[in-house]
Structure 1
């Protein structure tokens, strides 16, 4: 049975991202997928990687559990807002603390002329579901989608997750109830398929 990890990466509850996550969950439950939800804002951890990779900070129990959840799933779905073009600070801190050498990847001097690496999340797939106020086409063409590049390309794909698909809902500001209902239905359908 496909194990799906839902990652609630919105710093505040009761937002559109929560409604989207709930819709995905209902769809996935209707299809019988094995679901786990990880809510980053409820975890207790220091988000600052104080010493970079020079000195390892002990992982808090919530981060140890989060690593196990990421490694134990077949498919992960990240739900987050885009703020100032990127990820919320709490989400970035979460990634900084657990996407570490020897945990999610290791450098491999035999690849790419000494600049290679091995990702430890190979065989997993992902979807990123984002909300933002900037129209999606402007976000891609004018700004080159920085949050997508950061989470999809330089984090998940770097650690072996492929494919990583992206679903963006925008602009949220000024959106009508009917529009949001369509977005929620779209995510419910994604959950039914486990994609």
Structure 2
């Protein structure tokens, strides 16, 4: 089973990286072929080109490689902080360039005319882990947890991925070492559950 883990945080010592490593270790322990991307370490170029904005396939070799890995993966994990209720700029640029038209999704009429998308991704399950500094009850009840809607509905479901597991860990800024250790254990357990779901889910036939 192929898996893709992507983390976006400028500090290599961040808790985001610890979460991503926990997922990578868990899936590797199950025998998955795991590809790991640290977007800042790789200096991924997040700026969408004018051609890409018009639907032209990217000529960037790194973007092409990421697209190929996304399309080949049975499992996906993305890890990033909550930035104003959205992914940070680096991760948003990765989404813009890698979840590309005719790679991650298409339309029945061949163009985006506001109709329902056709998801092209064949992965069996996805895991989204976010960190934040807002009390969870306030994030959900006051802000409506926009990251959950963005990833679950606006991106993954749009591209054909229906089995999505997600967690928001916080408040990170004031968390204790014991709390972070408990969160890492939760991330490992979620990664195990997502792997189990993927193992029980038949990979969709190519579109």
**Cα distance in structure 2, aligned partners of 1:108 and 1:118:** 7
Scaled by the length of structure 1, what TM-score is found? 0.87
Superposition pairs of residues 44-193 of structure 1, within 5 angstroms: 44-51=43-50, 53-54=53-54, 56=56, 58-109=58-109, 115-193=115-193
Q: Which runs of 5+ in 2 are unaligned?
A: 197-207
**Cα distance in structure 2, aligned partners of 1:154 and 1:191:** 22
Per the TM alignment, residue 78 of structure 1 is displaced from its structure 2 partner at its CA by: 0.7
The answer for the alignment partner of 1:11 in structure 2 is 10
Q: Deviations over 1:95-130 (max 9, x none)?
A: 1112222121112249xx971221101453101011
**Cα distance in structure 2, aligned partners of 1:31 and 1:68:** 23
Per the TM alignment, residue 188 of structure 1 is displaced from its structure 2 partner at its CA by: 2.2
The two structures, once aligned, show a CA RMSD in angstroms of 2.2
SS at match of 2:189: helix
Range moving further from structure 2, 28-37 or 158-167:
28-37
Per the TM alignment, residue 4 of structure 1 is displaced from its structure 2 partner at its CA by: 1.7
**Cα distance in structure 1, aligned partners of 2:69 and 2:150:** 21
Are residue 25 (structure 1) and residue 21 (structure 2) matched?
Answer: no
Q: Which runs of 5+ in 1 are unaligned?
A: none
Q: Is the 8 A contact 2:71 2:122 kept in 1?
A: no
**Cα distance in structure 2, aligned partners of 1:25 and 1:48:** 27
Length, aligned pairs only:
192
Q: Deviations over 1:37-75 (max 9, x none)?
A: 122223455422243733637331111110111111101
Kindly indicate whether structure 1 or structure 2 has the higher relative contact order, using CA contacts under 8 Å at least 6 residues apart: 1
Range moving further from structure 2, 10-19 or 39-48:
39-48
Q: Is the 8 A contact 1:25 1:188 kept in 2?
A: no
Q: Is the 8 A contact 1:106 1:118 kept in 2?
A: yes
SS at match of 2:40: helix
Residues 8, 182 of structure 1: alpha-carbon distance in 2 compared, 3 angstrom cutoff: same
**Cα distance in structure 2, aligned partners of 1:123 and 1:60:** 23
